[in-house]
Structure 1
Amino acid sequence: MQDPTGPDRTGHAGCRLLEDARPLLATAQALCRRVQRAAHEAVLARLEEQEREIAAQAEATRGRIAELTAQLEEFDQAAEEVRITRKTLLALPDPSPPTPPAAKPPDHPAYRQIMAVFAAADAPLRARAVCEAMDLEIAPSNVNNVRLKLKRLVERGILIEPEQGLFTQPRP
């Protein structure tokens, strides 16, 4: 047997070891390529998985954008309707305040007499003066009854009380 470290056919020492190592080197290189290919395939698989996830997220986002676009169109339509309504209301003439129905005194002879006294009067009157104009006895009960009737006429807007106890018809 020949010394493996000894000279080979060419006479160089150690070349024999190199020749014996070549198959091992080829095997190691092939193994390295397989490991690289496997790692490469794993990276590619992970990239494909990420691509699918991103595509799914993009599709979900497109769906949400479509929903938001529809909602935005609804808001725009509602805003346009409000703008048109506002413009229409501004174009309408100012409504005149409703005229209240003409106040009517109660249908009682005493009230008709009181109103006749105020129709003939040219100044505000007190309850006592109304009693005198109606030819009633100037008694506290009569003055109080007339004063109550005058207050009722003020509540209904038929008479006004410019100061406490003084009554008159409103002037137009």
Structure 2
Amino acid sequence: MGDDALAAGGLPTLRTVEPHVAARIDLDDPDDLDDPATGRNAATLGSGAVLSAARARWPACDGTVSRVVVGPDGVPLDLGREHRLADRHLRRAVELRDGGCVFTGCAAPTWWADVHHLVHRIDGGQTSLQNPALLCERHHTQVHHGFRVERRPDGRWHTWRPDGSQITTPAALVPAA
């Protein structure tokens, strides 16, 4: 498309999607992303045409870039910032990881939970497997009113009240021998 057509803003929208270029670039070897030749890290367009990753980035210079990171099984795991809501594949990955509401002491199952952005989108949060937490409706509301959940590097979840105190559950009782 010509620059004039793009600048005019009068291009058609089809099924709520504005004109765009979709290019798939595998990130197996990020050292070659600027290589002008096709081959490793070549981009595949939606039409099936293959071009260099560097050439595929040219239209993105002035456009919106939508990153979609795909796992080894072909399932999208990271939808970048263009997508606000987790799709069914990302939701399933979060369900498998979290197992239910992650708010301390809650046992709500996955089907009662929302996928909550830990870093809100307005603050630069991504729709990715690293950013969400499953929260039941009650705890999702509480998190938007001052409570906070955080996943530690070891994968364990912790919850804090608005005053900064941590919510804990009592240790399991061990029967006397």
Which interval holds the TM-score relative to the shorter structure?
under 0.3
Structure with the higher fraction of residues in helix conformation: 1
TM-score, normalised with respect to structure 1: 0.18
TM-score under structure 2 length normalisation: 0.17
Structure with greater strand percent? 2
Name the larger-Rg structure. 1
